[in-house]
Amino acid sequence: MIKLAFTFSEAEAAMCLWEDCLRRCGNGEGDAVFDWLRCEEGAAAARQKCLELAEVVELSYDIAFADGYDDSFDWEFVPRWLDLAMEQTAEFREDHECWAINAGFQIAHEFKTKVQHG
């Protein structure tokens, strides 16, 4: 069943995902991201998928933030999150919540390592 009501935060997360999809299209990576989203129906279906994923990306971000992540959500976190989701498709599709938690910790770890090593 499709969720019909979204919080402002979920809508913002969905817009950030969509922006990153568009950025990737401009960089020639569009086919890969749209294939991953499984949107043979086109852009409208891809936007809907971004809405569906908003809750998952927010969970990952909350985990990462609690674990020390302190970089931007839209320009840093979301693109890395989408990279991880595309790399780990099978795990992602099996259990969104478990995957989201692990992704949050991984992104926080990468961020802290980057900060420590300048």
Please state, in angstroms and as integers, the Cα–Cα distance from residue 22 to each residue in 15, 27, 73, 74, following that order: 10, 9, 16, 13
- What digits encode the pLDDT tens for the residues 28-69? 776 777 777 765 677 788 888 888 889 889 999 999 999 999
pTM of the model: 0.82
Q: Where are the domains of the chain?
A: 8-116
What does the pLDDT read at residue 60? 93
Is the distance from CB of 8 to CB of 54 less than 8 angstroms? no
Residue 30, exposed/middle/buried by CB under 10 A (0-12, 13-18, 19+)? middle
Q: How far apart (Å, rounded) are the C-alpha atoms in residues 108 and 24?
A: 23
* Residue 89 CB partners (closer than 8 Å, separation 6+): 36
